[in-house]
Each structure stands twice: as structure tokens, then as C-alpha cells.
Amino acid sequence: MSIDTRAIETHSTDNRRFKPSPEFSARARIGTLERFNEMYRESLDSPETFYKRETAELVFRKPWSALSEWKPPFAKWFLGAELNASESCLDKHLKTARRDAPAIVWESEPGETRTLTYAELHARVVELAAALRELGAKKGDRIAIYMGMVPEVVVGMLACARIGAPHTVVFGGFAAESLRDRINDCQARFVLTQDGAYRRGGVVPLKATVDQALEATPTVEKVLVYRRLGQALAPITMKPGRDLDWVETTKNAKASLGEAPEIVDAEHPLFILYTSGSTGKPKGVLHTTAGYLTGAHITSKYVFDLRDDDVYFCTADVGWVTGHSYIVYGPLSNGATCLLYEGAPNFPDWGRFWNIIQKHKVTILYTAPTAIRAFIRQGTEWPAKYDLSSLRLLGSVGEPINPEAWMWYHENIGRGRCPIVDTWWQTETGSIMLTTLPGVHATQPGATGFPFFGVEPEVVGADGKAVGKGQGGLLILRRPWPSMLRTVWGDDARYEKQYFSEIPGSYFTGDGANVDADGYYHVVGRIDDVLNVAGHRIGTAEIESALVSHRAVAEAAAVGRPDELKGQALVAFVTLKPGNEPGDAMKKALAEHVAQEIGKFARPDDIRFAEGLPKTRSGKIMRRLLKDVAAGREAQGDISTLEDLNVLAKLRGQDE
């Protein structure tokens, strides 16, 4: 990979610091820097002691005989231990006062509320586990979940965990093609879906998309369909012999069949989650049971300082890793009350999140910079109308948060009172790696923070040597951690190449970062061919392969350009085959084609036609130049190997 580190140093440094209030620290799970440092040192120097104590709240049926094994690039954690993740999230609480406390408070887009206590959530999960077992699902079978934000999606995930069947949740915004590829890659036997989901007042026809995807998925045997909207709003056809009604099937199943959790080995696959990389084919990131659960549990507890009386609202979709770790496994294993919201942040208006916070007395909010920037555009009058005094802690995730957005969040949502945790992590890391702790560290707009327990990061140059304070470089993780991905599903070679070949022996994140004089990490963004558009990870190669699958396209290159709202916007440069007319109609057709192939969220923001793309003499597309063109910058760096300088001039001409 050629690494372009030009932009890594040129971030905005913001030297404002906000100390945690003495009141917050006094009540926090960790309230002093001394205690944090002590625990951090222990997590690295005596990990056995650290993890033994910190996993005491999780249910292990059999303890581990060795904490970890590291045969680069393959790690194992909690060797010999046996457990079932759903016991830590559900059964454990049945013996305590949490039994009748709300596990999920669900608010639908139209505004209804449904609450499931831990006892109720447990019962639903047991029923579904029973139904799945009656259908023949067993340990190790893969189950795809294509649903919206309804309590049943959580029930679905935990029921899979209960029977030892790894789930693969596919975000409801993905198109049929993408769903099909994911199902086929992991050879799922079952699909859990719903008829349709509300989104911005309209209906997303999830079941119809499943039908389309399943035209070419030979491994799928049964589909369970949860009727969220009903036939009038979301008409569906049930395929006899394949499709089953969720409620009917679970009601008829013998619940006792779902009671006993499948006790699995610590390294048994818990889930596969597909994410974009630098090739056209998404990677199935594999997470295993004990290590992942440990990471999600400990980070939720300390970073969000979770307590029984909190109402915790994470606005992510369960289709992304944030939803897995910080709506399902982390909070539930801590016995938290999670607010689950079905719909769009601006439905019926831009006050929706603030209304939810006021109505349910939300105490912790975890959201993304893109959402915050969208709120900024709508004006402070929206949050100002609501009582947000219940909030005590704010979080940010998914992309770098610019200092302006940070300050707006701090002032208008936190009302100057709430610490903000800016959490850096990835689908692959499974849980938060860099952050501040809310009762411990002073926060700094635009800076992420420090390594969490057990995490040993470093910023290095291409030679793998640490760079100096303030200097930009590659963010790597020096040692394995419990919730790290174990491999790319079915492709150990890709796993090794992608994450462990750049800096041999260390995990390469794909991100550029620097550490300031006080040790704060600043993560600047991806330095590989992966974009982060509105908090969604998109591989440029995926966009390119979608574009060239259109009959009119000869060649395509996709790059990112800085965008005030989305962080990055997607710009595609396209060369058409002879006989095709460039113009607005073609732009629309190509954007629609990408939406059909991948999903609407991947539609390019800008498509530019070119007679040729700038290439090196060996025929490689010069992406760096295209990035400059897309951003309207003068080309920087070396262009001496450019095949045809006219091409560049012509691409530029389109700016005017």
C-alpha cells in the first residue's frame, strides 16, 4: 500500500481542556487519574489479575486455564473457558433486582413506547431459541438478520447467541445484492427479517429485499418474518415451505426447548459482521464469544460509567458494530436500561432526539459527529426547546469530531455540564480502544484520548518506528486484546495481509494519528482506500466495482473529498464506453445503479466524466491526484510519472 501521510499532521489543534466536575468524579466508577493509571498498568503488566477481576460479573460455566495465546497473527483468549454470552446478558439478571427493570425501552418512529424488562427479554429470547431449534438450527449454523430497529432484532441476536449460532446482522440500508453476497459468503441457513420498517414516515420494504436476495442463496432454508407493520402498510408474500411467521412460530414452539443455553468454548464464533476494506469484496469480521463479550462489557461499564438508574441511548443502528457492542452485548451484560429508537433523527422534525431524551429522561447519549453536524445546521432552537437536564454523559463515535461540533455538542446538548467521551475503535477491534474516561481525564475538543485497559497503541512511520510527539503516522496496536477480530471469515490470508503485513507483528488500523505533548491521541482518519461517509465505512473499490458493472462504464475511480456535513463525500470519476452520452441523465442512472448494487447510503455525491483517468506509466490510477481534483486543490506531490498530463488538465476543467 502506498501511504499518503500528508494530511495527518495538519489537523486543527484545539487547546481548550475541560476537567470532569468533582461531583461527576466522586460518583464515577473510576474517579481519579491515579486509579486509572494503576489499572492501566495492571492490565498490561498483570493481565491475568486484571481480567480475572474484571470478568467476575460475566457468567463463565468453566474458568479459563490460560488467559491468552498469541501466535501472530492469530490470538486466542480465555483458553479452555466455557460460557454462553446470552447468560451474561439475560439469565444473570433474573436472580437480581434487575429482573423487573427495563432492559429495552423502545420508541417507535410514530411515537409509541414498548418496554421489555430483563425477565421479558429473556422469555422472548428463550421462545425464539426454541423455535430456531425446532427448525433444526444448531450450534455453528450461521443466521443472517436483516431487520430494523425493533426489540425483536435484539431478541434475534441473543437467541442466535443462545443456541451457539453465529449471527450476521446486515444493515437494513443495504440492497439485495449486498445482502445476497453476505449470506452466500457465510452460507447462512436461516434468515430473520421483518415485513417492513418505518423510516422518515415511509416504509422500508425489508422482506421484499430478502425475497430478491434469496433468489440466489442456495444455503438458506427458512426465513422467520416478524410482522412489524402488517399487510396494509407493508404487503409481503410468504413463500410456502420457506417463510414462517415469527410470532406464530415462536408461540407454537415448546419454550422449554430454548431454556438451556448452548455452552460453547471461549473461542466459539459469536458473530460475523461484514465491513468494507480495500478490495471490492467486504470482509466478514469474525468475533468470538468470551473475548468479545469481555471487551464490550468492560468498556461499557467504565467508558459510559453505566449504572442501574441510567437510561442509556445509543443512536447507532444494530447493523453496525456500535449497535452490537453498545446496544446489545455491552449494556445488557451490565444490566443497563437501553433506549432503542426505531426511526430517523429528523422525524417528524429536528427535535426528535431531544424529545426522546426529555420524555424518557435519558442520562447518557452516544451518537455520531455526522448527526451532530446535521443538528448544527438546523440551529440551536431545536435542542433549546427541550429539557435535557437528565443528561449526565455524552459520547461520540464513528469518525473524527471536529472541535466546532464538539463545542456545539458540549454547549447545546451537554449544557456545559456533561463530559464528552470521544471513542475511537473499529468493527475489527470489537470495543472501544481509545477514549477519555468521564470521571478521570480532562477532555479536549478534537482529541480522542488515551488507550483503554489492555490496549497498547503506537503511532509509527512506514518503517514501524515510533514517530515523535505531535508527528503524524500510522496508528497501530502493539499487542492483541480480548475483543480483537480473530480472522476474516473463510480467509485467513486476507486477515494476515490486511492487518498484520504493514507493520509485521502489530495490528495495523488503517488510520492516521498523532499524539500530542500531553499524550492525547488524535485520530485523523483513514489512510487506506476506505472512506468514512457520514459515519458509514465504504471501500472505494466496492464503489468502483459497482460502477464498472454498469453497461455504459469503461472505467471508474472513487475517492473521498472533505465534506462539512458528512466528514467525507464520495466522488466518482467515470470513463464511459464509446457511444454513451455523459450528462445528468447518465449521472442519475449511475448513482441509482450504485444504490441498487450496494445501498442508497453508498450513492456517490458527485460523478464526473472523464475521457481518461490519470495513470502512472505502469497503469495504476493515481488516486492522490484525483483526491486533489475532487477537493479542488492544486495537485501536490510527484506527478512526474503521470502518463498523460492532459488528462489532469481536463479533469480540472470540470470544476469551472
Name which of residues 589 to 618 contact ligand WT7 (CB under 6 A).
none
Q: How far is the CB of 322 from ligand WT7 (least distance, A)?
A: 5
By CB under 6 A, name the one of 353, 424, 450, 481 that touches ligand WT7: 424
Instruction: Give yes or no for residue 333 binding ligand WT7 (CB under 6 A).
Output: no
Asked if 526 interacts with ligand WT7 (CB under 6 A), we say: yes
151/430 with CB nearer ligand WT7: 430
Sequence-separated (6 or more) residues with CB below 8 Å from residue 533: 560, 563, 566, 567, 568, 569, 570, 601, 602, 605
DSSP letters for 480-499: --TTS--EETT-HHHHHHHH
Beta carbon nearer to ligand WT7, 36 or 171: 171
Window 448-507: residues binding ligand WT7 (CB under 6 A) = 448
Q: Closest CB to ligand WT7 among 98 and 441? A: 441
Q: Residue 88 carries which DSSP code? A: I
Cβ 423 to ligand WT7 shortest distance, Å: 5
At 608 the three-state DSSP class reads: strand
> What gap in Å lies between CA 339 and CA 333, rounded to an integer?
15
Q: Which of 42, 87, 267, 399 binds ligand WT7 (CB under 6 A)?
A: 399
Q: Which is nearer to ligand WT7, 341 or 573 (CB)?
A: 341
Contact status: 246 vs ligand WT7 (CB under 6 A)? no
Which helix (H) or strand (E) element contains residue 129?
Answer: helix 118-134
Q: Give the shortest CB-480-to-ligand WT7 separation in angstroms.
A: 18
Nearer to ligand WT7, 126 or 273 (CB): 273
DSSP 327-378: IIIHHHHTT-EEEEE-S-TTSSSTTHHHHHHHHHT--EEEE-HHHHHHHHHH
φ, ψ (nearest 5 deg) of residue 185? -65, -40
Cell numbers 469518525 correspond to 399
Stretch of 102-110, 417-425, 591-599, 621-629 lying at the interface with ligand WT7 (CB under 6 A): 417-425
Site for ligand WT7 contains 425 (CB under 6 A): yes
DSSP 202: E
C-alpha cell recorded at residue 156: 434475534
Residue 321 near ligand WT7 by CB under 6 A: yes
Q: Which of 510, 560, 604, 614 binds ligand WT7 (CB under 6 A)?
A: 510
Residue with cell 437480581: 96
Q: Does 109 bind ligand WT7 (CB under 6 A)?
A: no
Instruction: Give CA 60 to chain center in angstroms.
Output: 27
- 537 forms part of the interface with ligand WT7 (CB under 6 A): yes
Residue 400 interacts with ligand WT7 (CB under 6 A)?
Answer: yes
Long-range contact pairs involving 501-505 (C-beta distance under 8 Å, separation at least 24): 502/1, 502/474, 502/476, 503/460, 503/464, 503/474, 503/476, 504/464, 505/72
Query: What is the Cα–Cα distance from 146 to 318, expressed in whole angstroms?
Result: 10
The span of 112-120, 455-463, 519-527, 547-555 binding ligand WT7 (CB under 6 A) equals 519-527
Strands 143-146 and 190-194: parallel
- Binding to ligand WT7 by residue 398, rule CB under 6 A? yes
Query: Between 253 and 527, whose beta carbon lies closer to ligand WT7?
Result: 527
SS3 of 421, please? strand
The answer to the question of residue 426 lying near ligand WT7 (CB under 6 A) is: yes
Stretch binding ligand WT7 (CB under 6 A), from 66-74, 424-432, 542-550, 573-581: 424-432
φ, ψ at 210 (rounded to 5°): -60, -45
Q: Does 427 bind ligand WT7 (CB under 6 A)?
A: yes
603 Cβ contact partners less than 8 Å away, ≥ 6 residues apart: 570, 591, 592, 594, 595
Note whether 397 binds ligand WT7 by CB under 6 A: yes
Write down the least CB distance from residue 275 to ligand WT7, Å. 5
H or E segment and range at residue 561:
strand 553-563
Q: Taking contact as CB under 6 A, which single stretch among the options 196-204, 316-324, 547-555, 601-609 is the one that binds ligand WT7?
A: 316-324
Closest to ligand WT7 by CB, 25 vs 448, is: 448
Furthest C-alpha separation in the chain: 73
Candidates 88, 168, 322, 337: give the one binding ligand WT7 (CB under 6 A).
322
Residues 465, 476: Cα–Cα separation, whole Å: 11
Q: Which is nearer to ligand WT7, 24 or 274 (CB)?
A: 274
Pick 250 or 427: Cβ nearer ligand WT7: 427
Which residues contribute to the site for ligand WT7 (CB under 6 A)? 275, 320-322, 397-400, 422-427, 448, 509-511, 523, 525-526, 532, 537
